[in-house]
Chains A and B, each alone.
Chain A
Amino acid sequence: MKSVVFRELPVHDANWSITTGRDGNIYVGVCGELTGGLSVFIVRYNPVNEKTEYLLEVSPALNEPPDNGRAPLSKIHYGMVPGSDGKLYCATHFSGPPLGDAIWRPWHTWDDHEKMASGFHIFSFDPVTEQVEDFGVMSRNEGSRAMALAEKKRLIYGVTWPRDHFYIFDLKNHKYRDLGRIGNVNPQSVWIDNEENGYTVDDLGFIVKYDVMSDRLIHLDVRVPKDPMFPSEERCVYDTVPSPDGKSIYGVVWNLEWAQFASRLFRYDFKDNKVYDLGPGYGKDPCDHIGGLIFGEDGYLYYAASRKDSNRRIPYRMYLFRMNVHTLEKEEIAPFDDGEYHAEYIAKATIDFAGNLYFADTNNRPTRIYIYTPEGASGKFIPRWPLVRSWG
């Protein structure tokens, strides 16, 4: 499989955010969470001329030097979303340690004015004019794990870390609202429907909906599935992607980094308010990870699933699968192996105008994105919008 390696950032270690801009270029948030004092970078890959450009070092652009001794703005997690105006709307995140420290966690430095995180920023970045509009710090000490853009309503929905609060940011009036705690462990995906209601999942697997008409958070009586072998009732969501007809989302359950037999594919239908269990993504190992959900132009749902390899730091090797969403038949396509490294952990995915699929690799140095061209891809860079989901 082909890859694009971000060698000019030799110490950064994870591409948590990836999306396609209005211009058809691939944008990646190259994060540094395992080495102290690193800022996230926004990197652009042009699939037409295959050029990589390092556009923005985020932390100094938001007036927070990454080497100031505090937890730096080291990540844009699942919080980079393209707007129809050509801008990228981003929410920063934390977990990278301050310069000189081995590790950092927000619980340990909540009231430590020297080490604490300032709080996540929401900002927009225009890749053409290179203008950054910083909307400010939203929630003191917290990062934003996942985020969605309700573009017609000019709202951003997201969840904070570590306290797992659902928030709304009004882009028109520049107002931030904290709607309160929804669970204990962050969901890794916030999505929207056609009416721009916001959705996510709590850590008991129940879907939580922000109803924009009533302005209320509602805990629906609908739950993402779990593997029958999974003893606990705890589960959450890792990745979601809109169905081609926009009437539902396809998603994958998250193993919360500790839960075995957790990963499971599902479809949630907005109108019926029902969850359909689509079975395990791969299902042979207890510690499956599934990520990188993306629909190809051929109508297949592509995703990355793990196989166990205990000799690695993250005990996985990732493989590309695809599922026929009508028959639910799943087949393995290829390993995420570019000849230099077989990926340990794929986060999320995106697509370009020609139907090539891009998968964001994490937990490796230097970081990279893997590129796969499905057989049914058009191969023609024909601009069209919207192309990708409006969430991270």
Chain B
Amino acid sequence: MPIPLNVLREKKWPVPCHPIGREVIGKRNLSEFTSLSHFTPDMEFIARKGYQYGHYPMPFDYLESHIVREGTLKILPLPIPPEECGITSLVVDKTGRVFGSTAGRRCHLFLWDPKEKKHIVKIGTIDTACTKSSLAIVSDGSILLGIKPTSGESPLYRYVPGYSSNHLEKLAVPVRGEGIAVLAADSDASCVYGLSSITGTFFYFDNKTNYVKVFEPLDEHNLFSEVLVVTPDGDVYGGCRWTEIFRYDHINEQIQRTIIVAPSLAGRKMYNRISMLIFNQKDGYIYGGTSSDGLLFRFSPNLKEVISLGKPLAVPSIRCCVVTPNGDLYGIGGKEMCHLFRYLPDKCDMRDMGILSVASPRHWDGYEFDAAVTGLEGEIYFGENDRISHLFIYYPA
């Protein structure tokens, strides 16, 4: 039976905020700005007599307060079809050129030259479906690329700029039956370090000799974090079980499990992995982030201590991060609705800056990111990892 009319007539309805439609007999612009938008906080509507409205204050800038409003942002479209253009890794070479790799139905390697400022160029394709790709750059400028295939194994690939003519050279499969979860390198050395995708087996690849050395899995239960960082002294750090930190002693070629553990919220160690690691040249710390809790932490390799810096965002998951030349951190966290955050170590200032959003050359909000790198001029590149993806370039204020 329909809702009885007396029920609707006796209902205590909420009080509206402002007049609309036939309740409006005029309006006043509070600013010079006029808009087609239905909602214009700088407009005052003059109500017809006899109508009552509630007073519900709101910040005048509510509608744009969720987006990054400091600095300058632009985006570059990728010449790569949807479903294979999600950027999962970015590196910068010594001339400032940006190389990126994607994941999805196929993996693509692309190049952006900020000096030429033309458009992004696709320079290689791996015809294998993958969930992640990872890049590392070594001393002679060669780019090493590894992918985490959706099934089966995958080799390491090498691209040599200027020589290969868009050719991706297939190298060895570091661990049989597996792909590659992550790569990292000291760009002044010829060695690339990596973890295999299923068992988390640590390996290195010498780009001069093509020699691969495979170590043991980091954990007997195959629990590991898909991150590595190489410090200036040549050692490598990463995460093994849950959020435990390990060190690879490159001189003695030994993996050392430490008792150092990245922080988690109480009771949640089991749900976390280390999702980001980066070395800060300015203060000598390794900064990291965790996956499920989204905590930011600082690790001192010398002192072997971890300091929890807290949660920069309300959301879980620190996805990627860079350190600028002056030692500040800019990172991205969240799932489905990523936010940019900034941490200034000198001032201990940590803030949520909002969603990366542009209006040119098209309106676009970036909701998913998995890669970041700093350019030579201090600009920051963020790699969007969505069904349709862009390279974001952010110039901090």
Contacts and interface: CB of A to CB of B under 8 A. Distances in A.
Nearest to B40: A313
Interface in A138-197: 141, 162-163, 165, 179-185
Residue from A102, A105, A112, A314 whose CB has the most chain B CB atoms within 10 Å: A102
18 contacts: A34-B18, A34-B20, A35-B14, A35-B16, A37-B14, A38-B14, A103-B63, A105-B63, A107-B66, A107-B67, A110-B315, A141-B336, A163-B337, A165-B387, A180-B387, A204-B362, A257-B36, A312-B24
Interface residues of B, number: 54
Contacts of B189: none
A310 B361 CA distance: 29
B329 interface: no
Interface in A217-240: 217, 219, 233-234
A179 B386 CA distance: 11
Nearest to B355: A107
Interface stretch (B54-62, B148-156, B216-224): B54-62
B281 interface: no
Interface of A: 8-11, 13, 34-38, 44, 53-57, 67, 99-103, 105, 107-108, 110-112, 130, 141, 162-163, 165, 179-185, 203-204, 217, 219, 233-234, 255, 257-258, 260, 287, 310-315, 340-341, 344, 363-365
Contacts of B347: none
Given A54-B8, A110-B337, A180-B82, A103 B315 contact: no
A9 B18 CA distance: 17
A108 B58 CA distance: 13
B258 to A, nearest CB: 32
Contacts of A233: 361-362
A365 B57 contact: no
Given A8-B9, A11-B16, A37-B14, A183 B388 contact: yes
A179 B39 CA distance: 31
Nearest to B62: A103
Nearest to A234: B362
B267 interface: no
Contacts of B20: 13, 34, 313, 363-365
Interface in B1-60: 1-3, 5, 8-9, 13-24, 26-27, 34-39, 43, 45, 56-58
Nearest to A289: B36
Nearest to A162: B365
Given A35-B17, A130-B1, A311-B27, 4 more contacts: A101-B58, A180-B386, A181-B386, A313-B43
Nearest to B63: A105
Nearest to A13: B20
A103 B62 CA distance: 9
Q: Which 6 A-B pairs have the closest CB atoms?
A: A364-B21, A180-B387, A102-B56, A53-B2, A8-B8, A110-B337
A10 B9 CA distance: 9
Contact of B315 (A57, A111, A180, A340): A111
Contact of A102 (B57, B364, B367): B57
B362 A111 contact: no
Nearest to A218: B82
